[in-house]
Amino acid sequence: MNLTALFFIAMLVAFLTAIPPGLLNMTAAKISLKEGYARGIVFSIGAALVFMFQTLIAAVFARFLSEHPDVIDILQRVAFVIFVLITVYFLVIAKKQNKPEAELETKSKRSRFFHGMFLSSINMFPIPFHAYVTITFASFGWLTFDKPGISTYVVGAAMGSFVNLYVYIFFFDKIKKKKDTSQKNMNLLIGMITGVISIITLISILRKYY
């Protein structure tokens, strides 16, 4: 696959998987609301840098796994079951949960940068998720585990993560006003995303037998 196309696909995947309100995007939005856009962006840069490092670890780990196809087969089956369960949860079971908003202390831009790095570093989900995504992309021939391919995917994913935080920063007022009515839509969206990933995983598994 063309590296430019890979970049935008990686960016889109990272952006879409971070759409539901979470610790990072909601914190970035609240910081920008209380302390200004500049500090929110500084926080986002710190978070995106750690995310880029996590994605790099995921891609390197995926390259190792690609040399052990028997392990990949097992992981794909496990991942398929997990994504199906997540899809069912968000489409059928998940309900709206309202949580009180915590007050934020005013901090410097520098401390907000490290604050973003810290919160991003305690979220380890991107490593197994992007390891699986890169393996799936490689199985379809969309990604090669060489330096250009890995670098393009990592940078694209990091940019997608940053864009997601950026969108939350500048559109938080609208998101906040529609929070109650949009939560169900968020659950539906993430359920659809994991549903699509489940289908792609199933196709990847079946391709090995046909």
1-53 pLDDT per residue, tens:
688 898 999 999 888 878 766 778 888 888 888 888 888 899 999 999 999 99
Domain assignment present for 62 = yes
Domain assignment present for 84 = no
The conformation of residue 102, written as its DSSP 8-state character, comes to P
Q: Looking at the predicted structure, is the pLDDT value of residue 185 above 90?
A: no
Could you give the number of structural domains in the chain? 1
Separation of alpha carbons 146 and 143, rounded Å: 9
Domain assignment present for 127 = yes
Q: Is 142 helix (H, G, I), strand (E, B) or coil?
A: coil
Domain assignment present for 183 = no
> pLDDT class for 174, splitting at 50, 70, 90?
low
> pLDDT class for 102, splitting at 50, 70, 90?
very low
Q: How many CA atoms lie within 13 A of 69 on its CB side?
A: 5
> pLDDT class for 100, splitting at 50, 70, 90?
very low
Q: How many CA atoms lie within 13 A of 158 on its CB side?
A: 21
The structure tokens listed for 111 are: 């401390």
| Residue 122 pLDDT | 85
pLDDT in tens, 116-147: 899 888 877 788 788 878 888 887 788 888 88
Range of the domain at 112: 3-76+107-172
Section 77-86 average pLDDT: 74
| Residue 126 pLDDT | 83
Higher pLDDT, 184 or 135: 135
Q: How many CA atoms lie within 13 A of 72 on its CB side?
A: 22
Query: Quick check: 201 and 136 in contact, CB under 8 A?
Result: yes
- Percentage above 70 pLDDT, the chain: 73
| Residue 27 pLDDT | 86
Domain assignment present for 150 = yes
CA angle 128, 163, 160 (to 5 degrees): 35
| Residue 104 pLDDT | 46
CA angle 51, 53, 59 (to 5 degrees): 100
Separation of alpha carbons 15 and 49, rounded Å: 15
| Residue 69 pLDDT | 67
Domain assignment present for 86 = no
Q: Looking at the predicted structure, is the pLDDT value of residue 194 above 90?
A: no
Q: Is 96 left (phi over 0), alpha (psi -120 to 50) or beta?
A: beta
Query: Quick check: 153 and 145 in contact, CB under 8 A?
Result: no
Domain assignment present for 200 = no
Higher pLDDT, 134 or 208: 134
* Separate counts of helices (H) and strands (E) for the chain: 8, 0
Higher pLDDT, 95 or 25: 25
Single-letter amino acid code for the residue at 146: D
Domain assignment present for 205 = no
